[in-house]
Amino acid sequence: MPRSLARLDGHVSGTSAARGVGCCGVMRLSDLETKLLDSLRDGRLPCAFAFRLASEAGTTPEAIGAEADRLGIRISRCQLGLFGYPAFRRKGFIQQVEEVPGDVAVSLKSSSSDGKIPCAELWRIAIDHGLPRVVVACAAETLQLQITPCQLGCF
């Protein structure tokens, strides 16, 4: 949990991050803020949890990312393998693959522009080809495509 949030029984003291004011001038956390804070692992919000929260709250992943950013919470464990895996001693774990299947390469290239491809497009391509997201991210890396923007607004 960020240092600026001294959380006590669903309340936050001394920050504008919370919404609504409870007794004694202590601000009350919104339901979304509470769920977000409860989803933290090692002080960070895993990407998959952010997407689950977006679905449960009926909002966009980008809105969850913005809320996490507003609260000073960092996203971890990117579902494409790009960042948030400290055990690998580098930012992420994607790497180039020996060969990108032709149909996947065509999909990636046709969905890219100026050497960039959106995170959301990688997810769609993964579904279309029945592949894990991280495999498609590795294919994009092999084709030297920069993955941007992130659906959560991380990059």
The predicted-structure confidence for 54-103, as pLDDT tens digits, reads as follows: 999 999 999 999 999 999 999 999 999 999 998 877 778 899 999 999 99
Where in the chain are the domains? Answer: 6-77, 102-147
pLDDT (0 to 100) of residue 11: 38
Mean of the per-residue pLDDT values for the chain? Answer: 85
User: Residue 14: pLDDT above 50?
Assistant: no
Angstrom distance (rounded) from CA 130 to CA 141: 19
- Strand-pairing partners, residue 83, are none
Rounded percentage of the chain residues whose pLDDT exceeds 70? 81
Angstrom distance (rounded) from CA 141 to CA 96: 6
pLDDT (0 to 100) of residue 86: 86
Band (pLDDT 50/70/90 cuts) for residue 28 is: low
The answer for residues whose C-beta is within 8 angstroms of residue 89's C-beta and 6 or more apart is none
pTM for the whole structure: 0.79
The answer for residues whose C-beta is within 8 angstroms of residue 136's C-beta and 6 or more apart is 80, 104, 108, 122, 125, 126, 129
Q: Check: CB of residue 97 under 8 Å from CB of residue 138.
A: yes
pLDDT (0 to 100) of residue 90: 75
Q: Check: CB of residue 105 under 8 Å from CB of residue 119.
A: no
